[in-house]
Amino acid sequence: MDFATNHEGQLTIGGVAASQLARTFQTPLYVYDIGAIRQQIRAFKRVFEEADVSYAVSYASKAFATIAMYEVAKSEGAHVDVVSGGELYTAQAADFPMAAVSFHGNNKSKAELTQALDAGVGTIIVDNFHELDLLDDLLGDTVGQQDVLIRVAPGISAHTHAYDQTGQTDSKFGFDLASGQADEAAKRILADDHLNLLGIHAHIGSQIFEVAGFEAVTQKLLHVLNNWHQQFGFIPKVLNVGGGFGIAYTKQDDPLPPEAFVKAILATLKSQSQTLNWPLPAIWIEPGRSIVGPAGYSLYTVGSRKDVPGLRPYVAVDGGMGDNIRPALYQATYTAVLADQPNAAPAEHVHLVGKYCESGDILIDDAPLPTTTSGDVVVVFDTGAYGYSMASNYNRNPRPAVVFVENGQAQLVVTRETDADLIKNDLHYAAPTEQPA
């Protein structure tokens, strides 16, 4: 929630006043500070480089996937992971180097796997036996080999929202470890001429504030890899510890800098290295939120207001749960200011609500704000991850535009949807002339 201001005291993003962006591109609007994205990717890379450990910083593109974002990731030399044919298609449209793409998912379809193989995706992160069967089928007559990682459910729970936990044993993701399913998968892949096992993957959850889970998962995965080395003579090349590094949404949140998680992972790796008689693998991480979350801002215009005697007023803006479902879905909290007086002392506490026909359409339940007037531009911070990517057309509202700002220059990278876009897939219904009796 740190922000910059210009000499008039207006909030600026990437060197441009937020209210100016609102005037130029209208609201609701997603704005990204591209310098902040670059800085975070570089900060992650620096930790590995200083420790002299081979690595990949694989941006988890589910957090925010557009052609322009894949282009930024590409220009920073990041890898990306995709979780659907649609994300892969977008990365292809951005001309993202396919060798640096990992394909995730607990139920990849045959069509998606075909697309991935045809595109030459670098790594497929195999989640289950059904997927192995599909890959066998698809690779049956080919001569090439596909690099894969085995995703395991490591049996480690992260302290975060239940929907954001993925690493516990009772999870839909990954091969079970305790029952030996992961070992069976490794054995099967190692015997398969079409698949080349690079290593292992686990992701313990999202919006995590403590390093302990990452230390534990690193240890656990090294242990599994060591077993595979002993049992099968396997030499692991890659240990992928997933993403999930938490960010601050409000003053109450006090996360470590994202790089601190990587330092903890590397320290665990080093401390275990003497126990292994194989060379240390490359460490891959998959941060999504920590790369794009703090770089993203949502801009809205204040419209109506409802005052109820004795109760907190409702201040309504022109967006809401359609462009940011996180408060409704996870009770996520955010911080907001007025674009032109971001440092003004709060005059009241309001419910900052959206325009959607649902009582749960609350962006910030208790927002301390200066007195607002219809037409004021409100800026909500840290909406860069899982905002646009989870947006919907609920109530048939068009999705907002996305603007990238860097070095004082703003550029539209996703156009605002129009009413025509909303009906572009709709067909008229021709009722059968013979009505059933």
Q: Are strands 195-201 and 16-17 parallel, antiparallel or unpaired?
A: unpaired
State yes or no: 330 annotated in a binding site. yes
* Residues from 236 through 295 that contact ligand LLP (CB under 6 A): 242-245, 286-290
State yes or no: 384 annotated in a binding site. no
Distance CA 221, CA 94 (A): 33
Considering only the stretches 203-211, 305-313, 371-379, 426-434, report the one whose residues sit in contact with ligand LLP under the rule CB under 6 A.
203-211
State yes or no: 400 annotated in a binding site. no
Distance in Å, CB of 298 to ligand LLP, minimum: 14
> Is the separation of the CB atoms in 310 and 51 below 8 Å?
no
Distance CA 378, CA 323 (A): 14
Q: Catalytic: 357?
A: yes
- What Cα–Cα distance (Å) separates residue 158 from each residue in 164, 302, 325? 9, 37, 22
> Is the separation of the CB atoms in 214 and 264 below 8 Å?
yes
Closer to ligand LLP by CB, 220 or 289: give it: 289
Q: Which two tokens stand for residue 137?
A: 């089928």
State yes or no: 287 annotated in a binding site. yes
Distance CA 402, CA 409 (A): 14
DSSP for 58-84, please give it: EEEGGGS--HHHHHHHHHTT-EEEE-S
Distance in Å, CB of 173 to ligand LLP, minimum: 7
Distance in Å, CB of 315 to ligand LLP, minimum: 24
> Is the separation of the CB atoms in 338 and 379 below 8 Å?
yes
Distance CA 106, CA 116 (A): 15
Chain-centroid distance of CA 186 in Å reads 28
**Residue 170 phi, psi (nearest 5):** -85, 75
**Which helix (H) or strand (E) is 226 found in, with range?**
helix 212-232
* Residues from 120 through 159 that contact ligand LLP (CB under 6 A): none
Angle in degrees, CA 288, 390, 255, rounded to 5: 40
State yes or no: 46 annotated in a binding site. no
Instruction: Give me the catalytic one of 77, 357, 366, 423.
Output: 357
Closer to ligand LLP by CB, 388 or 404: give it: 388
Considering only the stretches 2-10, 56-64, 361-369, 408-416, report the one whose residues sit in contact with ligand LLP under the rule CB under 6 A.
56-64
Distance in Å, CB of 342 to ligand LLP, minimum: 25
Distance in Å, CB of 385 to ligand LLP, minimum: 6
Q: Is 82 in the site for ligand LLP (CB under 6 A)?
A: no
Distance in Å, CB of 300 to ligand LLP, minimum: 19
State yes or no: 9 annotated in a binding site. no
Closer to ligand LLP by CB, 60 or 315: give it: 60
State yes or no: 348 annotated in a binding site. no
Among 45, 74, 203, 220, binds ligand LLP (CB under 6 A): 203
State yes or no: 289 annotated in a binding site. yes
Bridge partners (DSSP) of residue 1 are none
Distance CA 189, CA 194 (A): 8
Q: Is 326 in the site for ligand LLP (CB under 6 A)?
A: yes
Distance CA 230, CA 23 (A): 63
Closer to ligand LLP by CB, 60 or 316: give it: 60
Q: Are strands 195-201 and 238-240 parallel, antiparallel or unpaired?
A: parallel
Q: Is 63 in the site for ligand LLP (CB under 6 A)?
A: yes
Closer to ligand LLP by CB, 63 or 403: give it: 63
Closer to ligand LLP by CB, 60 or 94: give it: 60
Binding residues: 244, 286-289, 326, 330, 358, 386
- Active site amino acids: 357
Tell me which residues touch ligand LLP (CB under 6 A): 60, 62-63, 104, 164, 166, 203, 206-207, 242-245, 286-290, 326, 330, 385-386
